[in-house]
Amino acid sequence: MSANNGYYVPHQSIWPIVGSIGLFITMVGLANMLTGAWNATVLLIGAAILLFMLFGWFGAVIKESESGLYSQQVDRSFRWGMGWFIFSEIMFFAAFFGALFYARQFALPWMAGDAGRLATHEFLWPAFEYVWPSSGPGELGGEFQPMGWWALPTINTLILITSSITLTFSHEAMRHNQRQKHINWLALTIVLGLIFLGLQMYEYVYAYTELNLRLETGIYGSTFYMLTGFHGLHVAIGAIILAVILGRSLRGHFTAERHFGFEAAVWYWHFVDVVWLFLFICIYVL
C-alpha cells in the first residue's frame, strides 16, 4: 500500500497489548494501594509500562505519518477519533458538574426544608440552614473559609484565555509556514500552561493551610477539588501533548497543509480552556 493511495491499515502491532498489560498492572497496583495492601511500587511499574507504550505507539504513528503513509482519509479518521474523544471527556466533566448542580439546587435546599421537604429537615437536620459554600449539616472537615474568585482564580482565568490566544497565533503561523513564529508562540503557550499549574498548586496549598478548605470539607470541598483537580490533570496532559508537538516541530515535522497532530493538541487545549471557563463561573464566581 503506497502513500495516499488506499487506506493504510497497519499489520500487527505490539503496542495495544503492551498498553493493556500496563493498564492492568497500574489498576491492580492502585487498587492494592487503596486497600492498604501495597505501596506505590506496582502502580509505578504499570505507569512506566504505559509510558513506554505511549512512546512506542505514538512513535510508530509519527513515523508512519512522516513517511507519507497516511492519506487524507486516514487524516479524517484521526479527526473523528479526536473529536469524539474530546466529547467523551466533556461528558466525564459533566458528571461532576451535575453533582455540583444537584447538591446546590436540590440536596442542600431540601435538607434545609425547602420545596416542602419539611420532614427531612425537621427529623434529620433541624438546625441546618442552606448557605453556599456548604460542608453539609455535619460540617465535615471543620470550619473553613471559601475560596474567593478575585485575585488568583481570575489571574488564572486570564492566563488560560491568553494561552488559547497564543496557541491560535501559533496555529496561524503554522498555516502560513512561519515555523519560527509557530514555535515561539507554542513555547509561550506551554509556559503559560505551566504557570497556570503552578498557581493552581499554590492555591491548593493556600486553601489547605490558610482556609482549612480540604477535600473532606463536605460537598463544597469534594466538588471544588474534584473539578479543579481533574481539570488541572487535563491541563498537565495538554501541556505534555503540546511539549511533544513542540519537539516534533523543532525536528521539522508538520507542513502548512498537513499538521493534524498539532491541530489535535490545539483542540484539546481549547477544550481544557472552555472547561475552565465553566469551572471558574460555577465553582468560584457563583
Partner 1 sequence: MAATTHDVHDGHGEHHHGPAKGLGRWLFTTNHKDIGTLYLLFSLLMFLIGGSMALIIRAELFQPGLQLVDPHFFNQMTTMHALIMVFGAVMPAFVGLANWMLPMMIGAPDMALPRMNNWSFWILPFAFTMLLSTLFMPGGGPASGWTLYPPLVLQTGDAFPFVILAIHLMGISSIMGAINVIATIFNMRAPGMTLMRMPLFVWTWLITAFLLIAVMPVFAGAVTMLLTDKYFATSFFNPAGGGDPVLFQHIFWFFGHPEVYIMILPAFGVVSQIIPTFARKPLFGYHSMVYATAAIAFLSFIVWGHHMFTVGMPLTAELFFMYATMLIAVPTGVKVFNWVATMWRGAMTFETPMLFSIAFVILFTIGGFSGLMLAIAPADFQYHDTYFVVAHFHYVLVPGAVFSIMAAVYYWLPKWTGHMYNERLSRIHFWLSVIGVNILFFPQHFLGLAGMPRRVPDYALQFTEWNMVSSIGAFIYGISQLLFVYIVIQTIRAGDKATDQVWEGARGLEWTVPSPAPYHTFDTPPKISATNAHG
Minimum distance from residue 110 beta carbon to partner 1 (Å): 8
Cβ closest to partner 1, residue 206 vs residue 230:
230
Report the chain's C-alpha Rg in angstroms: 23
Decide: residue 207, CB within 10 A, 0-12 exposed, 13-18 middle, 19+ buried: buried
Decide whether 50 or 174 has the Cβ nearer to partner 1.
Answer: 50
Residue 278's nearest CA partner among 195, 160, 167, 190 is 160
Amino acid at 152: L
Q: Which amino acid is at 45?
A: I
> In the complex, what is the shortest distance from the CB of residue 137 to partner 1, in angstroms, rounded to a whole number?
6
What Cα–Cα distance (Å) separates residue 25 from each residue in 33, 48, 49?
12, 10, 9
> Given the complex with partner 1, which of 15 and 254 has the nearer CB atom?
15
> Quick one: how far is CA 251 from the chain centroid?
27
Number of neighbours of residue 178 by Cβ within 10 angstroms: 15
CA distance 146 to 143: 10
CB of 69 to partner 1, least distance (A): 13
- Residue 186 Cβ vs partner 1, minimum distance, rounded to whole Å: 26
Residue 28 burial (CB count, 10 A): 14
Query: In the complex, what is the shortest distance from the CB of residue 34 to partner 1, in angstroms, rounded to a whole number?
Result: 4
Q: How far is the CB of 92 from partner 1 (least distance, A)?
A: 4
**Min separation Cβ 231 and partner 1, Å:** 13
**Among residues 58 and 149, whose Cβ is nearest to partner 1?**
58
H helix intervals, the chain: 15-34, 41-66, 72-102, 108-111, 118-119, 152-175, 179-206, 218-250, 260-279
Complex with partner 1: residue 25 or 174, whichever CB lies closer: 25
**For residues 53 and 167, which CB has a smaller minimum distance to partner 1 in the complex?**
53
For residue 160, give the DSSP letter. Answer: H
Q: Indicate the residue among 23 and 243 with the shorter CB distance to partner 1.
A: 23
Instruction: Give the integer Cα–Cα distance in Å for 133 and 103.
Output: 10
